[in-house]
Chains A and B, each alone.
Chain A
Amino acid sequence: MFETFSYITLQEYWWIIISLLGALLVFLMFVQGGQTMLYTLGKTEDERTILVNLLGRKWEFTFTTLVTFGGAFFASFPLFYSTSFGGAYWVWMLILIAFVVQAVSYEYRSKPNNFFGHRTYETLLFINGLLGTVLIGTAVATFFTGSDFSVNKMNLTNLTGSTMPVISEWTGPAYGLEAALNLHNLTLGLTVFFLARVLALLYFMNRVNNAPIMERVKKHLIYNAIPFVVFFLTFTIWLLLSDGFAVNPQTKEVFVEPYKYLHNLIAMPVVAVLFLVGVALVLLGIIRPITCFVKCSTKGIWGAGIGTVLTVFALFLLAGFNNTAYYPSTYDLQSSLTIENSSSSFYTLTVMSYVSLVVPFVLAYIFYAWRSIDSKKMDIEEIKSETHVY
């Protein structure tokens, strides 16, 4: 089936999968958002235990989605993997370390004789929540703002130079950390951070059976929704007004085009609709619980969650589709990565496309398994009846 597709169709198909994984990852980072509010929302040990256990049953999905996002990006667009990871070394390393400390913190937090004490593990969860969201947002923003690198595959044949023959060379001395100093990147980073907190609050509303926590959740929903909306609008308005990195479909030459992302939105009405519906759903998911807390609070996570997925999905498509360079180089425009020049071979994309057919099946069993263990809301009694507690 996939063999009959054209190369560009497969490349686009894989960009869609990457975009979808990226979108799911941003949504699932509600776990990270929740980790930054353990002490804000939980004032007693029991309350924090409820929150940690609620997040603890979901953290692996975020983690696995991140790992799969990385693996799928590697398999479908290896030049991105090679260029971005090797160049923006410090940003990625910090993100990774933030996730390393997360993985053990849940399991070890409440275990006796855990060497560092439970406060340390809670701090590590906070660090993961803060760095994970802000830095991933920052890194994704470079899809629109660009980085300073050059790509020359023929460096591999350079045996006479005094340095190692490396294909992708980064020109900045900060190896990626400079991205975090760019205001636009940081704006998206903070957008993701506050979005993750908002989503976490909506998730808690859906799952917690504890009145004092619910009171605080309601209050903090407003506190976090406001900065989220402000940062999100700032980034979006800037994006739609800014220059973008376009590709000439004939010559493959990359050039700067004013209002490129706005043009993309107009040129791809489906993406525009996805984006607008996504934003509307997120806002609806936030506003409804604020206005009708008692009845509507449990449903907010669905609206805002689906909305997040749609919005982020649309943003990724804006970055890569319609003759756009998704990983632009501001140092050497022609080194910019496009879905055409950075992808895997036709054969590999075909093989991977067959593999992608199991994804709906994976989603189905995740849904089924979640339903079966999340059948009722969580309170301290339930946790005390469990043998496996975080």
Chain B
Amino acid sequence: MEQIDFSLVDWSRAQFALTAMYHWLFVPLTLGLSFIIAFMETVYVRTGNPEWKRLTKFWMTLFGINFAIGVATGIILEFQFGTNWSNYSWFVGDIFGAPLAIEGIMAFFLESTFIAVMFFGWNKVGKKFHLLSTWLVAFGSNLSALWILVANGWMQFPTGMKFNPDTVRNEMENFWEVLFSPVAINKFLHTVSQGYVLAAIFVVGISAWFLLKKREQLFAKRSIIVASVFGLLSILFVILTGDGSARTVAKYQPMKFAAMENLYEGRQNAPLAVIGLLQKNTTDGELKKQDFAFKIEIPNMLSYMAFLDANAYVPGIHDLVYGNPQHNILSYKERSEKGQIAIASLAEYTAAKKSGNDSLANTALAQFTANYPHFGYGYYVNRDMHELIPSVPTSFYSFRIMVGLGFHFLALFLVVFWLTYKNKIESRRFILYTALWTIPLAYIASMLGWVVAEVGRQPWVIQDIMPTIAAVSQIKPASVQVTFWMFAVLFTGLLIAEIKIMTTQIKKGPAQDNSNK
């Protein structure tokens, strides 16, 4: 273990990050735009006004372009658990595989079946069946998000399972605990609702462009009304669930939380650094850290945010690394020793079982069970403790930019809705430009959310139980490097094509002739 080949782990992580981020460029728009289209078509079916059909069809075309590349980038993620993380696939496959399979059976077929009706059924099926299909596409895509986010939530907070020493893996004990884990539920709600926000910004921004160009004004204003109401409700929900997510992080992933806040010394009445600049490199014993060069704080806020109690104690990175007996926190050194005991007693148990020595097997098993919560730390004996700390600046800044942008979106939706409602929006060019340029910001905020979630939990592929270094497949780093670049080139090429096609379709605008179509 002393000479772990880090290039394999690093390239495998890089490949997963690359493919996941490319996939995530397209998913949030699918999640939200599917609902916006369904609303618009509902208005069309209820009023019979063909203008609303034109509206629906325009946004549906953009939906289709985006959806195709979302599918293309998605298949790789599912299979990558096997190809690049084979230990992981065995160690937790008994739990992790189920949501992936359910996603396929329940959600993907629903999506792909009714997407065909949605695109090709206009002249072939009744209005109501078509509308139902459009809603089912929205429902299906959000259902697929539920299952994959449950899977991700489980990695952050493993629950509902038990380790089986005979099969050397974790096995599911309670499906409902996995599905309804607080981490999974918050993650799902926060993630899909931010997808709705992104889609709303996309629609508002593009509609703003039409208004700036003085084209299709009624069409654009109708789109803005639908999207800004949807966006406004969604962003409020994003803020609410974001708050809930932060609380689950504080509770179940204290190191991630401390990194997000650059909190080294744990304390009661911890203040929240709303804005901060990390600059000076200092040390705390062996621990490398960065002090604030500048910050604006709200007193007690962090304690309150994390535990709904201004007096609550929030552990810092120092406490988690060196331990804090007063607050019952074990040091990383102790945890890695316990983890090592767990790993060794698992080996003892298996050997004893094989040789038929039941009493020895039982002793080893008891020792294993007592130390299992620290299993993953066992791989870090005699290693640099910094490997157990996620990148603090990345977590700290990503979190703040994401939250800041969230409030920008809230303000934008309010202003845009109000101005459209008062029929003044077309003259406010500054607001229209702001709306247009908020589109990339929505993507940045969305991506940074994943950066906080995934960089912040390093090195754990499953919190406390399996680190990335123990999860990979046995392949040559060069192979992973080659596939990494293949994906990088391929996805970048497809992204360029997607953007070109999308902008061409937007510039074309909604179809003029609406007869019989």
Chain A residues within 8 Å of B, Cβ to Cβ: 57, 60-61, 63-64, 66-68, 70-72, 74-76, 78-79, 81-87, 89-90, 92-93, 96-97, 99-104, 106-108, 111-116, 153-154, 156-157, 159-170, 175, 344-345, 347-348, 351-352, 355-356, 358-359, 362, 365-366, 369-370, 372-373, 375, 385-388
Contacts and interface: CB of A to CB of B under 8 A. Distances in A.
Given A79-B90, A89-B479, A154-B347, A99 B168 contact: no
A337 to B, nearest CB: 11
A258 to B, nearest CB: 32
23 contacts: A60-B116, A64-B109, A67-B75, A68-B108, A74-B100, A85-B83, A85-B473, A86-B475, A87-B86, A96-B79, A108-B68, A108-B498, A112-B508, A157-B347, A162-B3, A168-B90, A170-B474, A358-B105, A365-B110, A372-B117, A372-B124, A373-B120, A388-B119
Given A162-B3, A166-B87, A373-B125, A348 B94 contact: yes
Contacts of A60: 71, 112, 115-116
A388 B120 CA distance: 7
B318 interface: no
A85 B470 contact: no
B86 A168 contact: yes
A96 B75 contact: yes
Contacts of A375: 124
A101 B76 CA distance: 11
A282 to B, nearest CB: 25
Given A71-B100, A83-B86, 18 more contacts: A57-B120, A63-B112, A64-B111, A72-B104, A78-B94, A81-B82, A85-B86, A86-B86, A86-B89, A87-B473, A103-B72, A104-B69, A115-B496, A156-B346, A164-B472, A344-B171, A352-B98, A372-B117
Contacts of B104: 64, 67-68, 70-72
B479 A72 contact: no
Given A68-B109, A348-B171, A63 B71 contact: yes
Contacts of B493: 115-116
B122 interface: yes
B91 A156 contact: yes
A48 to B, nearest CB: 18
B171 A85 contact: no
Given A165-B87, A355-B106, A345 B167 contact: yes
A160 B1 contact: yes
Contacts of B68: 103-104, 106-108
Given A90-B479, A108-B497, A114-B497, A156 B87 contact: yes
Interface in B287-302: none
B33 interface: no
Nearest to A386: B120
A164 B4 contact: yes
B51 interface: no
B501 A111 contact: yes
Nearest to A53: B120
A115 B500 contact: yes
Interface in B60-106: 60-61, 64-65, 67-69, 71-76, 78-79, 81-91, 93-98, 100-106
A170 to B, nearest CB: 7
A107 B173 CA distance: 43
A102 to B, nearest CB: 8
Contact of B75 (A82, A103, A112): A103
A365 B132 CA distance: 13
Contacts of B453: none
Contacts of B100: 70-71, 74-75
B472 A369 contact: no
Contacts of B84: 86
A93 B83 contact: yes
Given A71-B78, A75-B98, A164 B93 contact: no
Contacts of B87: 82, 156, 165-167
B94 A92 contact: no
A347 B171 contact: yes
A85 B497 contact: no
A347 B173 contact: yes
Q: Chain B binding site: helix, strand, loop or mixed by DSSP? A: helix
Contacts of A90: 479
A85 B68 CA distance: 25
B469 interface: yes
B90 A153 contact: yes
B196 interface: no
Contacts, number: 310
A190 B173 CA distance: 44
B505 interface: yes
Given A67-B75, A104-B68, A169-B474, A86 B501 contact: no
A57 B116 contact: yes
A162 B123 CA distance: 65
Interface string B1-30: 111110011000000000000000000000
B90 A373 contact: no
Contacts of A87: 86, 473-474
Contacts of B52: none
B496 to A, nearest CB: 6
B129 interface: yes
Q: 3 tightest CB-CB pairs across the interface, nearest first? A: A78-B93, A85-B82, A86-B86
A253 B125 CA distance: 58
B123 A385 contact: yes
Contacts of A355: 98, 101-102, 105-106
A216 B93 CA distance: 48
B81 A81 contact: yes
Given A74-B89, A166-B472, A369-B114, A104 B497 contact: yes
A262 B344 CA distance: 46
Contacts of A102: 72
B494 interface: yes
A345 B94 contact: yes
B330 to A, nearest CB: 20
B57 interface: yes
B32 interface: no
A1 to B, nearest CB: 15
A70 B78 contact: yes
B460 to A, nearest CB: 16
Contact of B500 (A78, A114, A170): A114
Nearest to A388: B119
Contact of A81 (B89, B95, B125): B89
Contacts of B461: none
Contacts of B93: 74-75, 78-79, 81-82, 344
Contacts of B343: 156-157, 159
B71 to A, nearest CB: 4
B326 interface: no
B142 interface: no
